[in-house]
Amino acid sequence: MRRIFFSIAVLSAGVLGYEILLTRLLSIVQWHHFAYMIISLALLGFGASGTFLTFAGQRLARRFNVAFVVNAGLFAVSSFACFLFVQSLPLNLLEISWSADQLRWLALAYLALMLPFFFAANCIALTFVRFPDVLATTYACDLAGASLGCAAVVWMLHVAEPGAALAPVAGAGILAAVVAGIETRWLRWSASALVLGCAGYLLQGAPFALQVSEYKGLAQAKRVAGATVIDSRASPLGLLTVVANPEVPFRHAPGLSIAAPVSIPDQVAIYTDADSATMINRYDGDRRSIAYLDRVSSALPYHLANIDSVLVLGSGAGADVLQAIYHGAGRITAVEMNAQLVAFVRDEYAAFSGNIYRDDRVSVRIGEARDFVTRDRQRYDLVQMTGLDAFGAATSGLHALNENYVLTVEALQGYLDRLRPDGLVAITRWIDLPPRDGIKLFATAVSTLRTRGIDQPGRRLAWVRSWNSHTLVIKNGDLSADQIEALRTFADDRRFDVAFYPGMTRQEANRYNILSVPHFFNAANALLGTEHKAFISNYKFRIAPSSDDRPFHSHFFKWRHFPEMLALRLRGGMGLLELGYVVLIAALIQAIIASVVLIVLPLIWMRHKPGTVSGSAWSRVRVIGYFLPVGLAFLFIEIAFIQIFVRFLGHPVYAVAVMLASFLLFAAVGSQLTAVLRDTIDERRKLVAATGVIAVLCVAYVVMLPMVLAHFAGAGIAWRAGVAVLLVAPLAVAMGMPFPLGLRALRGGSAHLIPWAWAINGCASVVSAVLAIVLAMYFGFTAVILMSVTLYCLAAIMGWRGLGRAPASPQR
Amino acid sequence: MGHALRIVLAVGLCLATPISAVEDRFAAERQQMLAEIEATVIDTRRATGRSRLDARVMTAMGTVPRHEFVPEKLHAIAYANRPLPVGHGQTISQPYIVALMTDLLEVDSDAVVLEVGTGSAYQAAVLAELVRNVYTMEIIEPLAIAAQQRLARLGYRNVEVKFGDGYYGWPEKGPFDAIIVTAAVNHVPPPLVAQLRPGGRLVVPVGERFAVQHLLLVHKIDDERIEIRQILPVRFVPLTGGHG
């Protein structure tokens, strides 16, 4: 029988494309962390496929052509149908802590979305079983196709809305079936698949509408009388939806002072992924119309110094830029990652916004904040960063597992480096109660100043709060008496509370927005005192400063207080639970339980099914001991390095696309290398060499990468992408070798264990994707990399004997 | 045949169940709900500054048929100590939070109260048991219509529902002794503070729909002085080691 390679590549491209697309779609209709959880579980379809094929693999392999085409077709159909089905479920994940019903809907969503991955994985694993002599090449095609799919879907998300991209991705299944028919010369199957695909396309009809959760900001806004969606645009960075409401204005003015009310201008809202609104303010050049921007806490720095040059990080729809204009800044640099968002303000709504993004004083740069700060050489009087998007999501712990590289110690160092002498960094965030976000930010600022050798960091810090926002100012020098007086006047005039300034007394705290305890003042003093480590350790939330190695600013959860929070859940304490983190842990537990079931089931079956047992129990232990660490370690390294390089490349979506595609492509090269070098190098030596390369490179990268990346930080994006690919290539090549080497060792007498090995690898990949984030939260990404080295070494030890007994049948 | 018989039997049983029995069941659940509220209030007394709620508030909570304010499919859990969805992306808070917010308003029987964000009108009904007049505004038209009909059906004559934008309050009916804002706000609407009578109180629950994080209490001492308190509705002390 003729082998199939191209169809595997096409199918894998579809599967990876589907996974990425599903993340986007579920992030829009639900929230991104739930998308993460659902998809991580759905990927267990790979593990389930291995388990299923352990039972039925040999039988299906005998009718390979039919099985392949049918499974590829089922991938196509189910990828479409299952998403529509999940969208139709009354799934409200915000209610999950209250309702057992929601757990049932969630389980149904998992099962439904598992199906496409299950069918696609069946195709790949069946090919391993049917053509064991070329499995390294098959695996290489699988990885190379996935690499292609990654790049293709990112491109597709640029040119089409995510909903419209689903049909082409599903079509990859049909295409794979057609190609498989051609490759195997079973043209009638090819023709059948083509007909099925055309019929499906015609039946699908018009693009479907995304059913956004009714609790998301966009859904809420659209229910208000007069609300109209006037525009939308999509990119991998998010789906932007522009909403206007001439009848009921948005009046978005977070933290606006209750004193001396001022009017809020007309606004147009831009929602990202149906949540997180940023507003374009109507501005006609009359400063009085935007006076409200002086009545919010983020206006503080303009009252502490004469600000001429401002760097606005994350300028969004331009409120901070407008605030700088209001206060008379002469040079404003606005950095915004989403070019489409900038285009709305600069082009479509130029007149409405007062042409602020075309103003001579304003220079708009598209890019990521950290990346810009690293490469910029200008100096500023003020670096301003305001993070007031979706309040509910921001304060309910939904961002707990987001990596946040703009609020780490290293990030604050970068901002301070961009300041002129006596310049200011100002960061504004939502207030959460009991306080944790603000206190962690203050702790990060103190740590940053101490790292810079400042003995008295308190002399450089000023902090104010309204009832729902706070602004921390870090000065590049000691605050003067005049500045302290200006701070007090600013706060008193607006009925804001001063949370901290050097020399502040307890009596001055907690005067207008009264908390049961002056938490902010107490925390600031504790963090500046000699007992700051004890304070951080004893605080009920995780408030230790975040770093680039552990960039989880919004991770406040401490296990030792979990029982208390859980007990208080029904007693008014639901807000204490950090939903994003709870979801992550729930996903991990579910993945582990499901993986154990999927791995153990075939074992039980093999023990009781006559004629299926080959080798000793020890050989099966070796299979687990080999494929489990290989599966875990691959994703550990991939996730950790993607994080490191994302910062280096500066743009998360393109960086993830480049890195993921590179990892997969070079791993494909590694896999193929095991086949090419089949006759020249002993299998065990290849494994040892691969493990050695992985270990040496990982350790070397951990030690040297920061220096190397710093050296190239100022280079253009093409150069940096080239450097990233070059650095990843040898590592990925080595990482692509252990899995096919292990599979090849199972050929011959243990061939029936190949699907089981596939199941173990699939399950391990799912667990490791979640586990890597959990481990990084506690130990950092460096530790995750070093753990993966240990896992590869463990696999090499387990695989040493097995590989020595690999049958020698040359790959054709 | 057997299947059809079972359906007939089930329908017959439902029809045969006297309404008083249903009401009794809900009355028992309301009593259970009150017990839970009382226990939680004692538990959270340090955080809220209230070791017990006003007896009138508890009576009102024990009187209002909460099940009438939630979709029928949720009747079975209407009195559970949890927030409930009421459609159109809106919810009603868990009973303890409703009771606490009502208590924080400190209204007497002659008070006139404004509510912004009617929802299903449960909060308005609780207030109606306590005060002379409740004026409630809802920006989502179907909710406003349904609330009006529901309140009329249940006999609440001292509640007036208005469909419209609550940001500017209801000046023709003001000034108010108390205002409760159950809609999400990113700042306290100044017109509402202006329509508050000196000595009046304004309460806003802050957080996402299914998890109130804290309560904002604005106390208008007089036309010049305003005090804002942020009340954590849970017994939780974040600081340790003498820092708190």
Tens digits of per-residue pLDDT, A106-122?
888 888 999 999 999 99
* pLDDT attached to residue A202: 60
Using the predicted structure, report yes or no on whether residue A753 has a pLDDT greater than 90: no
Q: Which of B139, B208, B238 is opposite residue A94, by nearest beta carbon?
A: B208
* pLDDT attached to residue A783: 94
Q: Return the residue of B nearest to A519 by Cα.
A: B244
* Span B118-142, average pLDDT: 95
* pLDDT attached to residue A723: 92
* pLDDT attached to residue B69: 95
Using the predicted structure, report yes or no on whether residue A680 has a pLDDT greater than 50: yes
Using the predicted structure, report yes or no on whether residue B241 has a pLDDT greater than 50: no
* pLDDT attached to residue B44: 86
A154 — pLDDT class (breaks 50, 70, 90): confident
Long-range Cβ contacts of B84-88 (<8 Å, 24+ apart): B85/A92, B85/A95, B86/B119, B86/B120, B86/B143, B87/B120, B87/B143, B88/A214, B88/A223, B88/B140, B88/B142, B88/B143
A392 — pLDDT class (breaks 50, 70, 90): very low
Looking at chain B, the whole-number percentage of residues with pLDDT higher than 90 is: 62
Q: How many CB atoms lie within 10 A of CB A582?
A: 19
Cβ–Cβ < 8 Å for B66, B23: no
* pLDDT attached to residue A803: 59
Substitution target from A293, A432, A571, A578 for chain B, most B beta carbons within 10 A: A571
Q: Return the residue of B nearest to A219 by Cα.
A: B89
Whether residue A571 and residue B44 make contact (CB cut-off 8 A), yes or no, is yes
Could you tell me how many helices (H) and strands (E) chain A has, helices first? 28, 13
Instruction: Flag the least confident range among A182-186, A188-192, A407-411, A624-628.
Output: A188-192
Using the predicted structure, report yes or no on whether residue A527 has a pLDDT greater than 50: yes
* Span A68-77, average pLDDT: 90
Q: How far apart (Å, rounded) are the C-alpha atoms in residues A319 and A308?
A: 17
Using the predicted structure, report yes or no on whether residue A757 has a pLDDT greater than 50: yes
Q: How many CB atoms lie within 10 A of CB B6?
A: 10
Query: What length is written for chain B?
Result: 244
Cβ–Cβ < 8 Å for B70, B86: yes
Which tokens sit at A548?
């680039």
Using the predicted structure, report yes or no on whether residue B157 has a pLDDT greater than 50: yes
Residue at token pair 């708009």: A364
- Going by C-alpha positions, the residue among A645, A642, A653 that lies closest to residue A773 is A642
Looking at chain A, the whole-number percentage of residues with pLDDT higher than 70 is: 92
Beta-ladder partners of B201: B178, B219
Of A389 and A337, more confident: A337
Using the predicted structure, report yes or no on whether residue B2 has a pLDDT greater than 60: no
Q: Does A221 touch chain B (CB under 8 A)?
A: no
* pLDDT attached to residue A282: 96
- Going by C-alpha positions, the residue among A182, A22, A196, A200 that lies closest to residue A116 is A22
* pLDDT attached to residue A207: 61
Angle at A313 between CA A310 and CA A319, to 5 degrees: 75
Q: How far apart (Å, rounded) are the C-alpha atoms in residues A71 and A125?
A: 11
Q: How far apart (Å, rounded) are the C-alpha atoms in residues A459 and A216?
A: 42
Q: How far apart (Å, rounded) are the C-alpha atoms in residues A153 and A67?
A: 27
**Three-state DSSP class for residue A21:** helix
A142 — pLDDT class (breaks 50, 70, 90): very high
* Span A785-795, average pLDDT: 95
Q: How far apart (Å, rounded) are the C-alpha atoms in residues A560 and A543?
A: 14
Q: How far apart (Å, rounded) are the C-alpha atoms in residues A114 and A47?
A: 10
Instruction: Flag the least confident range among A106-120, A640-654, B171-185.
Output: A640-654
Of B184 and A755, more confident: A755
Instruction: Flag the least confident range among A132-141, A745-754, B70-79, B106-115.
Output: A745-754
Of A615 and A305, more confident: A305
- pLDDT averaged over every residue in chain A: 87
Which tokens sit at A20?
């990425």
* pLDDT attached to residue A419: 97
* Span A231-258, average pLDDT: 90
For chain B, where are the E strands, in sequence order?
84-87, 90-92, 112-116, 133-138, 159-163, 176-181, 196-208, 211-220, 226-231
Q: Return the residue of B nearest to A497 by Cα.
A: B228
Q: What phi, psi does B77 have (nearest 5°)?
A: -115, 20
Whether residue B213 and residue A541 make contact (CB cut-off 8 A), yes or no, is no
Which tokens sit at B186?
């990113």
In chain B, residues with a C-beta closer than 8 Å to the C-beta of A258 are 187-188, 190, 193, 218, 226, 228
Burial A470-494 (b: 16+ CB within 10 A, else e): bbbbbbbeebeeebbebbbebbeeb
Q: What is the largest CA-CA distance in chain A?
A: 88
Cβ–Cβ < 8 Å for B97, A573: no
DSSP one-letter code for A506: G
Using the predicted structure, report yes or no on whether residue B11 has a pLDDT greater than 50: no
Q: How far apart (Å, rounded) are the C-alpha atoms in residues A176 and A27?
A: 28
* Span A711-738, average pLDDT: 90
* pLDDT attached to residue A322: 96
Using the predicted structure, report yes or no on whether residue B234 has a pLDDT greater than 90: no
Q: Chain A neighbours among B 6-65 (CB < 8 Å)?
A: 40, 43-44, 46-47, 49
Q: How far apart (Å, rounded) are the C-alpha atoms in residues A580 and A593?
A: 20
Which tokens sit at A67?
């099985």
Using the predicted structure, report yes or no on whether residue A221 has a pLDDT greater than 60: yes
Q: Residue B9: in which H helix or E strand, if any? A: helix B2-16
Give chain A's radius of gyration (CA, Å).
Answer: 28
**Three-state DSSP class for residue A494:** helix
Of A49 and A587, more confident: A49
Substitution target from A297, A468, A536 for chain B, most B beta carbons within 10 A: A468
Supply the DSSP string of A760-788, one letter for each residue. HHHHHHHHHHHHHHHHHHHH-HHHHHHHH
* Span A239-258, average pLDDT: 91
Using the predicted structure, report yes or no on whether residue B9 has a pLDDT greater than 50: no
Q: Residue A469: in which H helix or E strand, if any? A: strand A469-475
Q: How far apart (Å, rounded) are the C-alpha atoms in residues A457 and A366?
A: 33
Q: HSE-up of B20 (CA within 13 Å, CB side)?
A: 0
* pLDDT attached to residue A504: 96
DSSP one-letter code for A561: G
Instruction: Flag the least confident range among A77-86, A204-213, B30-39.
Output: A204-213
For A304-390, where are the E strands, in sequence order?
309-313, 331-336, 362-366, 380-387
Q: Which of B188, B209, B238 is opposite residue A540, by nearest beta carbon?
A: B238
Q: Chain A neighbours among B 93-112 (CB < 8 Å)?
A: 94, 96-97, 100
Beta-ladder partners of B91: B85
Of A714 and A535, more confident: A535
Instruction: Flag the least confident range among A273-287, B52-66, B204-218.
Output: B204-218
Q: Which of B212, B216, B230 is opposite residue A575, by nearest beta carbon?
A: B212
A609 — pLDDT class (breaks 50, 70, 90): low
* Span A706-727, average pLDDT: 86
Using the predicted structure, report yes or no on whether residue A395 has a pLDDT greater than 80: no
* pLDDT attached to residue A812: 35
Instruction: Flag the least confident range among A221-225, A305-309, A338-342, A642-646.
Output: A642-646
Q: How far apart (Å, rounded) are the C-alpha atoms in residues A742 and A798?
A: 10
* Span A413-427, average pLDDT: 96
Supply the pTM of this predicted model.
0.89
Whether residue B227 and residue A215 make contact (CB cut-off 8 A), yes or no, is no
Q: Return the residue of B nearest to A524 by Cα.
A: B243
Q: How far apart (Å, rounded) are the C-alpha atoms in residues A774 and A769?
A: 9
Q: How many CB atoms lie within 10 A of CB B62?
A: 14
* Residue numbers of B annotated as active site: 93
Q: How far apart (Å, rounded) are the C-alpha atoms in residues A756 and A603?
A: 9
Residue at token pair 């059948």: A192
A206 — pLDDT class (breaks 50, 70, 90): low
**Three-state DSSP class for residue A365:** strand
A388 — pLDDT class (breaks 50, 70, 90): low
Spell out the residues 6+ positions from residue B227 whose beta carbon is closer than 8 angstroms to its own: A512, A514, B218, B219, B221
Q: How far apart (Å, rounded) are the C-alpha atoms in residues A519 and A533?
A: 17
For A505-611, where are the E strands, in sequence order?
513-514
Distance separating the N- and C-terminal Cα atoms of chain B? 70
* Span B176-189, average pLDDT: 90
Which tokens sit at A278?
């940023």
Helix B55-63 / helix B19-43 crossing angle, nearest 10 deg: 150
A593 — pLDDT class (breaks 50, 70, 90): very high
The stretches of A650-682 forming alpha helices (DSSP H) are 652-676
Strand pairing report for A461-465 and A497-500: antiparallel
Using the predicted structure, report yes or no on whether residue A729 has a pLDDT greater than 80: yes
* Span A482-508, average pLDDT: 96
Whether residue B241 and residue A467 make contact (CB cut-off 8 A), yes or no, is no
Spell out the residues 6+ positions from residue A274 whose beta carbon is closer than 8 angstroms to its own: A28, A29, A212, A213, A216, A217, A218, A219, A239, A241
Q: Which of A219, A523, A574 is opposite residue B211, by nearest beta carbon?
A: A574
